[in-house]
Structure 1
Amino acid sequence: MPASFVTDLCGYRNGKPNTSDSSKADSVELGRIFFERLGVPEEKHAEKNDHTWSLAMVADLQGKLKEVAQHLTVERERHAHEFEQYAHLGAIQRLADDDSLPLDNAVRNLQNHLPTAEEGGEETSVLVEALLKALDESRARRRPLLDALGDESLPKLDISVHRALDGAAIDRPHLVAGFSLKWSLRTDRLQDPRTHGAKMATLRRGRMPHFAAVTMEPRPYFLARLGQGTGDLDCVYHLHLPALTAAVDEYYSATKSRLKTRDTFHRMVEQRRLRDYDDLVAYLGTL
């Protein structure tokens, strides 16, 4: 079953489908066929949906998961280091926060409340000077070390699905799934989800969350470039795979090259590299 909210996000911009690359005739033509299958009228104008989509998807998943997995929480725009498998990623930044200034102020405040050398506090003055010198030396040693450390980080997750951990040593939720949302695909947008997935696999401490891209892109070529990777992504979910399959079967026919593209698309579906939105919901219900 496709995403119930998908047609609300579809429409035309300057007479062209908002899933299409307006500079590519084949993309526009395939997009029109795709929208015909979706039942999107040509007079429907498309608004920008950068945040509308993620809000609609979070609301949809929350409603569906209440029935099958009440222990799961769905949110948008969360940092990976907010979850227990990636909590260590924020440690370098916390270490880099220089706490020597408050210590320096505390020593000077102590100095103001102790006898001066003229008042017979020679030993006190020596102690304060020693403390200040130790702080300066500590700061001098610490800064080069911090500058040499790598700043390991991850971009925010477009959508995260997590659960609480009972009795865990760290008071942070466990990330069970993360999703990178790409309404449409271009060459410059393909690498983001794959790089994100590779870094999540490399930097985790513990179980790897289910990580996938979610898209409305209709062109098999770009879907294959994203989905036929080396394991950076578990799979690619499409918001309306049945309508896309029908559009691909209609458009990619008649010529040998087009039939080859159609066959590549079907292989992706059969190999479950490309899955329907309903598969996403069903899988989350098992986590």
Structure 2
Amino acid sequence: MPAPFVSELCGFREGRPNTSDKNDPLSQELGHAFFELLGVPHDKTAPKTVDKAWSAAMVADLAKQIAATAPHLRIRAERRLEEFEQYAHLSALKSLAEDASPEVAAALTRLEQATYTVPELASLVDALEDTLAAADSRRRALVDLLGDESPLRLDVAVDRSGPSVPVDATDAPSHLIAGFSLKWSLRTDRLQDPRTQGAKMATMRRGRMPHFAAVTMEPRPYMLGRLGRGTGDLDCVYHLALSPLVEAVQAVFASNKDRIRQRDMFMRMVEQRRLRDYDDLVAYVATL
């Protein structure tokens, strides 16, 4: 079944489906067949952007669907990895770049005030300030040399209290159960983003690897294959409307050998569960 919110996000731009590449006639042909099966009216105008509306709708739908079976889970959009216990150490590097602690600043202020009554302390305070400034300069140089290795934000995150964290704790990092990268359509310049993020998550984690997958509305078998037939950076790719897409691909990609080859590759992805339906995503999250 298509995701219940998908019809709100579909529409046409200059006569082409908003899942289709304007420079790819085959993408547009497939997009029209796909939208026909989805029942998208031909006069429905596509929203200017779908990213924020999509993540908000998906968070609301997941929270509603799993409320009865997994009330301990929290579904949220736009979360940084370092918010979760497996990746909390990523924020340590950023803290090194911050100024000296408030305690040190307060102590220096008290010393400076004391110089009014004990003038001989003035030279010692000046020396201490110079030493702290030099240490701060060295620290910042090291931080600049290391760079920022923190991965991108998760478009949608599923988390719960950590196994060693009291239920009523509000300031402790939670445990990341699943993360999703949302890509309405796929372009060559951003195709590798989810796979790069998955690889970083696997490398940087301290603890259990969360379930991580891409979610898309891309119709082209070739592009889905480039994303989904990877080397383990993604657990799988979820599609918002897989059943109608399967039907559209079987109809459109049956006219010549090249198209048949792409159709067969696409069907293998479905059979191997590299490409899964949105219902599978909901069912998986509900069992966590």
TM-score by length of 1: 0.92
Per-residue CA deviations over 1:95-137 (Å, capped at 9, x if unaligned) read 11021787356424423234556xxx54x44643553344244
The answer as to 2:146 corresponding to 1:154 is no
Q: How does 1:78-89 map to 2 (within 5 A)?
A: 78-89=79-90
CA contact 2:156–2:179 (8 Å) conserved in 1 = yes
User: Which residue type is aligned with residue 156 of structure 1?
Assistant: R
Distance across 2 between alignment mates of 1:186 and 1:98: 41
8 Å contact kept, 1:116–1:125: no
Match of 2:9 in 1: 9
Contact in 1 for aligned 2:85/2:162 (Cα 8 Å):
no
TM-score of the superposed pair, with normalisation by structure 2: 0.91
d(CA) in 2 for partners of 1:100 and 1:209?
34
Query: C-alpha offsets along residues 29-68 of structure 1, whole Å, 9 cap, x if unaligned?
Result: 1000001110111111111222111111111000001021
- Please point out which of 111, 126, 136 is paired with 1:139: 136
**Residue number in structure 1 paired with 2:251:** 250
Within 5 Å, give how 1:41-56 maps onto structure 2: 41-48=41-48, 49-56=50-57
Q: Give, in whole Å, the separation in 2 of the partners of 1:275 and 1:42.
A: 27
Question: Would the alpha carbon gap of residues 115 and 21 (structure 1) be closer, same or farther in structure 2, given more than 3 Å must change?
Answer: closer
d(CA) in 1 for partners of 2:47 and 2:217? 15
SS of the equivalent of 2:164 reads coil
Structure label with greater radius of gyration:
1
In structure 1, what is the equivalent of residue 67 of structure 2? 66
Aligned to 1:21: 21
1:39 aligns with 2:36: no
Q: Measure the CA separation in 2 of the matches of 1:278 and 1:32.
A: 23
Alpha carbons of 1:59 and 1:131: their partners in 2 closer, same or farther (altered >3 Å)? same
Is the Cα–Cα contact under 8 Å of residues 75 and 160 in structure 1 kept in the other structure?
A: yes
How many residue pairs align between the two structures?
283
More helix by share: 1
Letter of the 1:188 counterpart: D
Q: Does the Cα contact within 8 Å between 1:30 and 1:251 map onto a contact in 2?
A: yes
Alignment partners' CA distance in 2, 1:133 and 1:236: 55
Structure 1, gaps ≥5 residues long:
none
Shift of the 136–13 alpha-carbon distance from structure 1 to 2, 3 Å rule, reads closer
After superposing on structure 2, the runs of 4+ consecutive aligned residues of structure 1 that deviate more than 4 Å are 114-117
| Deviation string, structure 1 residues 206-263 (Cα, Å, up to 9, x no partner) | 1111000000010000000000001110000000101000000000102121111111
1:247 maps to amino acid: A
Distance in 1 between residues matched to 2:63 and 2:208, nearest whole Å: 23
Moved more, 189-198 or 168-177: 168-177
Q: Give the Cα separation in 2 of the matches to 1:115 and 1:254.
A: 91
8 Å CA contact 1:248, 1:262 repeated in 2? yes
**Contact in 2 for aligned 1:11/1:46 (Cα 8 Å):** yes
Moved more, 2-11 or 271-280: 2-11
User: Quick check: 1:100–1:135 contact (8 Å CA) kept in 2?
Assistant: no
Q: Tell me, yes or no, if structure 1 residue 259 matches structure 2 residue 260.
A: yes
Query: Residues of 1 paired with 2:234 and 2:215: CA distance?
Result: 11
Q: Counterparts of 1:71 and 1:100 in 2: how far apart (Å)?
A: 37
1:10 Cα deviation (Å)? Answer: 0.8
Structure 2: give runs of 5+ residues left out of the alignment.
none
* Matching of residue 280 in structure 1 with residue 281 in structure 2: yes
The answer to whether the 8 A contact 1:104-1:135 is kept is no
- 1:4 partner letter: P
Q: Classify 1:66/1:127 alpha carbon distance in 2 versus 1 (closer, same or farther; 3 Å).
A: same
Contact 1:184 1:217 (C-alpha < 8 Å) held by counterparts: yes
- 1:167 maps to 164
- Output the amino acid matched with 1:165: G
